Structure 1
Amino acid sequence: MAEEYGFAHAWTYDHLGWRSLVDKPWFDAVPTLTAAATVTSTIRLGTLVASPNFRHPVHFAREITALDDISDGRITLGIGAGGPGFDTAVLGGQPLAPAARTERFEEFVELLDKILTQDNTSWYGEHYTAVEARRAPGCVQLPRLPFVIAANGPRAMRLAARYGQGWVTTGSGGDDVEAWWRGVAELTKKFDDALAAEGKAPARVHRYLQADAAPAYSMSSVEYFKEVVGRAAELGFTDVVTHWPRTDSPYEGTESTVEEIASEVLPEL
């Protein structure tokens, strides 16, 4: 339906369970995206976001290589550091401190990049080991499928600037909408600095805003969605990500609003 409505991309979370929905029906991201790829032909698909919480770069590289093939090169890989929530607790692990999560994230992204771009990769790191991991047949998209890296902190931003074809943020700060937007504006400036430090042209990196990280649902009305998209564009974002409406919280809304947005807003973007 997202493809029929004219949206540019469609995503799924990559969790073993999530917050208040942990006892609701929940499916793994990879087979879900595989199913989506078989019933669509143009819309881009991806994870928003996968994390090292329960994934190893060697096995994950096999999965996303297959996804890229099945979708005929329509997969975008969103990757994040992983939080201390259910994904860690359900496996019996102890949550890592923020600095340790970032270190693991840096190693995860670097190793995943190598496996997807080199024919044969061996790696002996702090968090991961790979022994002659193969790339074949490689991604449909060359040199590999694009990474959209979630980053709010300085180290993760540098990682996004170095390895990302896209950057995604949830914003920061504030219990009200205006405070959240101020936080988003500050983060865009910091990401500009990260790109400059890497010598990377801003135009080479797409910028994704996870709009529903604000204390308001972006598809609560057509008017509010227009406002969100407009403000994001003013801050230099190329893409806005929202949630398909649910019948109750979180993201309570109606599909009729999605239909109105598709007919009134998307054609103008």
Structure 2
Amino acid sequence: MVAVGIALLPQERWVSARRRWEQVEEWGFDHAWTYDHLAWRTLVDEPWFATVPLLAAAAAVTERIGLGTWVASPNFRHPVPFAKDVMGLDDVSNGRFLLGVGAGGEGFDASVLGDPPTRGERTRRFEEFVGLLDQLLTQPVTSHQGTFYRADEARMIPGTIAQPRTPFVVAANGPRTMALAARYGQGWATYGPAYATEDVPDEPSAAQEQWWTGLATMLEQVDAIESEHRPAGAPPLRRYLSLDGAPIFSMTSLAVVTEGIERAAALGFTDVVVHWPRAEGIYAGDESVLEGLVDQLPRLQLL
């Protein structure tokens, strides 16, 4: 069985966005996500709304689907107030919230609050961020003195509906953060292997195949790291793939998106995430492809 989710960028006012979130549930998707940024890449000067109130609103108009951040990071989040937000989203959603977390990139979000950390500092900060969030969400009072964060008797009462806490879906492409996912995560998330534009063959299908080959290697690495670092008795990590980390956008055609979900399931991914197609720019596509995917969902979810 493979769960299929969709990411909706937080660009529309709620009066327009509401219907899309309702449709995602009506159409039968398993989960829905939005990005947790202050602004993002080529869309930095376009409308971009805050993540937490958007997900709270989405939780209020849905009943079944999981709702998550793809992904929250320490670039502008402190674990103590963010844990309160997580507890609140868990409450409004009746335990359906999925906390996608990542180390944070090197774009606008990394420097908007001041000098960004080095890559090494960013990884260490992420490890402390995840560990402290875990403490905060599993005990009523937490004190912590670390390298990057401090908490003095931080209260998280009454705690989360989801038990033992909100599920963590940890984004990781390297061994150190994969180990973090194995220790703390209920899921591991990836966009797949990164590739430089100049290294991509002229033929898109060849680039796509390179991406799938690299993805299979990453899965082998996660399997090995999970076997070493997963706590005894913990259920297996779910494996989440953003299909749109590939060179070819999934909503290019119905054939591309269905083949992608099928291949991901065959590799061992339990969850696949696509993007609601935009009118232009990044993730540009035809909404008729999304409608075609909806027709195929019952079959694909049985893979």
| Superposition TM-score tier, normalisation by shorter sequence | over 0.9
Matching residue of 1:139:
160
The CA distance in 2 between the partners of 1:268 and 1:196, in whole Å, is 28
The residue type paired with residue 218 of structure 1 is S
Matching residue of 2:229:
198
Matches within 5 A, 1:1-269: 1-91=23-113, 93-174=114-195, 175=200, 176-199=207-230, 204-269=236-301
State the aligned residue count: 268
Instruction: State the 1:89 CA deviation.
Output: 2.2
The residue type paired with residue 159 of structure 1 is L
Query: Does the 8 Å contact 1:173/1:179 carry over to 2?
Result: no
Instruction: State the 1:252 CA deviation.
Output: 0.9
Q: Deviation per CA, 1:49-78, whole angstroms, max 9, x where unpaired?
A: 000000000000001101100011110000
Say if 1:148 and 1:199 are closer, same or farther in 2 by CA, change over 3 A.
closer
The CA distance in 1 between the partners of 2:25 and 2:287, in whole Å, is 14
Instruction: State the 1:141 CA deviation.
Output: 0.3
TM-score, scaled relative to structure 1: 0.96
Q: CA RMSD in A?
A: 1.3
Q: Deviation per CA, 1:136-167, whole angstroms, max 9, x where unpaired?
A: 11001011010000000111000000000000
SS at match of 1:261: helix
The CA distance in 2 between the partners of 1:256 and 1:31, in whole Å, is 29
Say if 1:173 and 1:179 are closer, same or farther in 2 by CA, change over 3 A.
farther
The residue type paired with residue 170 of structure 1 is Y
The CA distance in 1 between the partners of 2:181 and 2:230, in whole Å, is 13
The CA distance in 2 between the partners of 1:202 and 1:254, in whole Å, is 41
Query: Does the 8 Å contact 2:168/2:185 carry over to 1?
Result: yes
TM-score, scaled relative to structure 2: 0.86
Query: Which 10-residue stretch deviates more, 80-89 or 196-205?
Result: 196-205
Say if 1:150 and 1:199 are closer, same or farther in 2 by CA, change over 3 A.
closer
Give the structure, 1 or 2, with the largest relative contact order (CA under 8 Å, sep 6 or more). Answer: 2
Query: Does the 8 Å contact 2:188/2:238 carry over to 1?
Result: yes
Query: Does the 8 Å contact 1:192/1:202 carry over to 2?
Result: no
The residue type paired with residue 133 of structure 1 is A
Instruction: State the 1:267 CA deviation.
Output: 3.7
Query: Does the 8 Å contact 2:140/2:158 carry over to 1?
Result: no
The CA distance in 2 between the partners of 1:256 and 1:203, in whole Å, is 38
SS at match of 2:293: helix
Q: Deviation per CA, 1:208-263, whole angstroms, max 9, x where unpaired?
A: 00110111111211111111011111111001111100000211112221111111
Query: Does the 8 Å contact 1:185/1:235 carry over to 2?
Result: yes
SS at match of 1:50: coil
The CA distance in 1 between the partners of 2:194 and 2:39, in whole Å, is 25
The residue type paired with residue 222 of structure 1 is L
The CA distance in 2 between the partners of 1:268 and 1:17, in whole Å, is 33
The residue type paired with residue 29 of structure 2 is F
The CA distance in 1 between the partners of 2:116 and 2:263, in whole Å, is 35
Identity of aligned residues (%): 54
Q: Deviation per CA, 1:159-183, whole angstroms, max 9, x where unpaired?
A: 0000000000111144311111111
The residue type paired with residue 282 of structure 2 is P
SS at match of 2:250: coil
Q: Moved runs in structure 1, 4+ residues, more than 4 A?
A: 199-203
Instruction: State the 1:199 CA deviation.
Output: 4.3
